[in-house]
Structure 1
């Protein structure tokens, strides 16, 4: 079977290539986003996601300095790291896995992330194995949810390796979620998996149900499916 070679461009290379394709660099700020930022600053930068710093990030905009880190932390303390305010109004992630007619697999994850992220933060989306992962001989997976937690477990990679061992996409996605909630019982997120045969499945935790869209020869158009969460 013919395989396709892909090249990843980052930084200035990506900008130059996009310019060659006719895309123009532009400021994506809007009047709305600027107003939201001003209001946030006026409220002492609340909410924000700084932890283990001084001054108190719940009352101050900083600048912050690290404070001594507790030597021992139990599972309950770890679970408190998860941000419980995730909702449809402040979070936006798109994950996609595609298997073409030649059997090539591609995947990607794009996210707007949560509002008021820490400057310089790198989320799970660009991390191979966390936001998404594919193997041309197996299939692919994509994940969404608490990115700071998912980066520690690489759920997309986990799901693909489970499928490589013979698990169905549904079982693989579920096992990836279970590996997270063992340590983070308050985790909110989901994993979608697809194998090279076109079988698909998903698993989720922390919400009632998780919808995902599928288009294949089994459906005449894009179909939205839902799975109940753990």
Structure 2
């Protein structure tokens, strides 16, 4: 139950190290924004650092040229290509064939509904960078951590499931650990890693616990994309996924190298 997290942090490369500092040197659980960056720098992490790469700047420039599409907004109308965005007033307006902005522009119903998406289509193995890791030491202590750059084209200020305890990661040395990745905006509503660890505490195998947690999400959101791994205190591990083929790696005492395990959605 020692937890540290940071979110919306800029200028500091070692986000997961910053999260550990929150756990070790504060009584808080979560620090966010530039104040989190200030804390990390004051505790000795290197920076401030420009975290933009030529690839990310090129992607951003092309996105701006495409009127900031795709994005994660819904039920809104952009006054210009990249905003500002204004809400569609009332549910009934979605049933109309047009919506008149203050500038009297007319936008058809198809354009409105095009903005009303869940965001899942932006999440895939090709644009994800989440790393979640669980470790058991020789004394049986368990630690888990997750680090991510977040969803591509996210709305500024968005916090995903990465820093939310019980969502992208959770551990209890009486039961085991879990790490998750995918459509964090959906998955965090279910705290899937907390669910996995509690299921193992109640006697479920890692496989059954992982499948159960994914099944709970896909019953409500059949189009979501995500995956998780489960690890019990004996070192038995498994994974489950939905919407993509998921791979996770394992290395334990006596192994000469990492072994990669592949999980298919149909395995659930």
TM-score, normalised relative to structure 1: 0.84
Equivalent residue in structure 2 for 1:65, among 73, 77, 86? 86
Alignment of 1:97 onto 2:120: no
CA distance in 1 between counterparts of 2:201 and 2:224 reads: 26
CA distance in 2 between counterparts of 1:14 and 1:170 reads: 38
CA distance in 1 between counterparts of 2:119 and 2:2 reads: 38
Equivalent residue in structure 2 for 1:193, among 217, 230, 246? 230
Count of equivalent residues: 217
**Structure 1 residue aligned with 2:265:** 229
> Structure 1 residues 217 and 69 mapped into 2: Cα distance closer, same or farther (>3 Å)?
farther
CA offset at residue 9 of structure 1?
6.8
TM-score, normalised relative to structure 2: 0.73
Preserved contact between residue 193 and residue 201 of structure 1 (Cα < 8 Å): yes
**Structure 2 residue aligned with 1:76:** none
Alignment of 1:203 onto 2:240: yes
What's the Cα RMSD here? 2.5
1:3-61: per-residue Cα shift (whole Å, max 9, x none)? 989535735466445554452221111333223222211211111111122238xx831
Preserved contact between residue 124 and residue 182 of structure 2 (Cα < 8 Å): no
> Structure 1 residues 30 and 13 mapped into 2: Cα distance closer, same or farther (>3 Å)?
closer
Structure 1 gap segments, 5+ residues each: 72-79
* Bigger relative contact order, structure 1 or 2 (CA pairs below 8 A, ≥6 apart): 1
Larger Rg: 2
Runs of 4+ off more than 6 Å: none
Alignment of 1:23 onto 2:46: yes
